[in-house]
């Protein structure tokens, strides 16, 4: 049933495991290499396991162009932790920061900057936690998380979009994500949402924000469904008009975003 793995001798399989399937591909010759090409040989989906799939398996794991995972994105670690190169250069950069001078400001200085960003379908955004005490900003620890049922929250991303979240992004760590489906994406930082650390990405020209009603947890209803944005996040979203984001391309962070709309 399984020509590829049957044809691969135990020796070859051991070699693949030892040096990694991807780097092994250019090294193996003859029938083994031909079987790795896939397509055009009528094999189709044959129920093979993933363990020894080499290039085919990689394709399944990297469903987006450039191997940016639709759920977990791509985490860019600093060199001392392996220095894995990012698969693509980003089309846009968003800084995830704490502005020290704004500690007394309504949002406490926690921000995505810009807070509003317009991109085209298929473009990539790098969320960057660069420590820069010299300009009064420190990186802090943040996440880039979509409002979605997967996280027990109101869905505030397009129906067709995959929910996503970065891991915790600390100093000198960055996170790359590709936005595919048109529409409005509301994003929050797990630890700092209540302080207004949220942002809105508009992909393409779809600017509808009919996310529906939400309730906040209360004594009478401690576990409402769905849960919407918390605290100052509501104020920031009220100030991030999707049409204005598309018109301007980006809305930089400012403390005004954290004040009630007039």
Could you tell me how many residues of this chain bind Cu ion (CB under 5 A)?
A: 4
Sequence-ordered list of residues with C-beta below 8 angstroms from that of 175, at least 6 positions apart, any chain:
73, 74, 75, 76, 126, 127, 144, 166, 167, 169
Smaller CB separation from Cu ion, 56 or 102: 102
CB 153 to Cu ion: min, Å:
16
Smaller CB separation from Cu ion, 24 or 257: 257
CB 36 to Cu ion: min, Å:
43
Smaller CB separation from Cu ion, 24 or 110: 110
Smaller CB separation from Cu ion, 157 or 233: 233
| Angle (CA) 59 64 67, round 5° | 65
What tokens does 13 get?
């399989």
Of 77, 183, 97, 95, which is closest to residue 140 (Cα–Cα)? 97
Interface with Cu ion includes 8 (CB under 5 A)?
no
What tokens does 216 get?
């906040």
Smaller CB separation from Cu ion, 87 or 230: 230
CB 112 to Cu ion: min, Å:
8
d(CA 240, CA 126): 20
Residues 138 to 197: which contact Cu ion by CB under 5 A? 142, 189, 192, 197
CB 118 to Cu ion: min, Å:
22
Residue with tokens 């996310």: 211
Contact call for residues 94 and 128 (beta carbons, < 8 A): yes
Longest dimension (CA), the chain: 72
CB 200 to Cu ion: min, Å:
16
Q: Where are the beta strands (DSSP E) in 33-85?
A: 74-76
Smaller CB separation from Cu ion, 124 or 143: 143
The sign one gets for the Cα dihedral 176, 181, 185, 191 is negative
CA 68 to chain CA centroid, Å, is: 8
What tokens does 163 get?
């929910």
| Pattern 92-131, Cu ion, x by CB under 5 A | ----------------------------------------
Smaller CB separation from Cu ion, 94 or 197: 197
CB 231 to Cu ion: min, Å:
13
CB 105 to Cu ion: min, Å:
15
Stretch that binds Cu ion, among 12-20, 137-145, 216-224, 241-249 (CB under 5 A): 137-145
Contact call for residues 262 and 256 (beta carbons, < 8 A): no
> DSSP class of residue 181?
S
Name the site residues for Cu ion (rule: CB under 5 A). 142, 189, 192, 197
């Amino acid at each position: 049933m399984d020509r590829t793995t049957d044809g691969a001798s135990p020796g070859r399989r051991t070699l693949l495991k030892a040096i990694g399937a991807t780097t092994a591909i250019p090294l193996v010759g003859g029938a083994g290499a031909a079987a790795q090409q896939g397509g055009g040989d009528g094999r189709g989906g044959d129920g093979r396991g993933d363990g020894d799939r080499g290039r085919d398996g990689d394709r399944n794991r990297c469903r987006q162009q450039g191997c940016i995972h639709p759920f977990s994105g791509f985490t860019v670690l600093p060199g001392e932790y392996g220095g894995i190169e990012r698969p693509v250069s980003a089309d846009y950069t968003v800084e995830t920061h704490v502005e020290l001078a704004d500690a007394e400001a309504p949002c406490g200085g926690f921000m995505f900057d810009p807070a509003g960003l317009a991109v085209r379908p298929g473009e990539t955004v790098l969320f960057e936690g660069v420590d820069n005490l010299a300009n009064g900003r420190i990186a802090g620890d943040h996440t880039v998380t979509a409002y979605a049922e997967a996280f027990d929250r109101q869905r505030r991303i397009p129906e067709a979009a995959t929910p996503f979240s970065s891991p915790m992004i600390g100093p000198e760590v960055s996170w790359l994500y590709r936005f595919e489906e048109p529409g409005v994406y509301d994003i929050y930082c797990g630890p700092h949402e209540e302080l207004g650390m949220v942002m809105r990405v508009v992909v393409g020209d779809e600017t509808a924000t009919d996310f529906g009603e939400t309730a906040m947890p209360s004594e009478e209803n401690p576990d409402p469904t769905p849960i919407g944005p918390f605290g100052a996040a509501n104020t920031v979203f009220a100030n991030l008009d999707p049409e204005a984001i598309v018109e301007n391309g980006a809305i930089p962070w400012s403390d005004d975003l954290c004040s009630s709309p007039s």
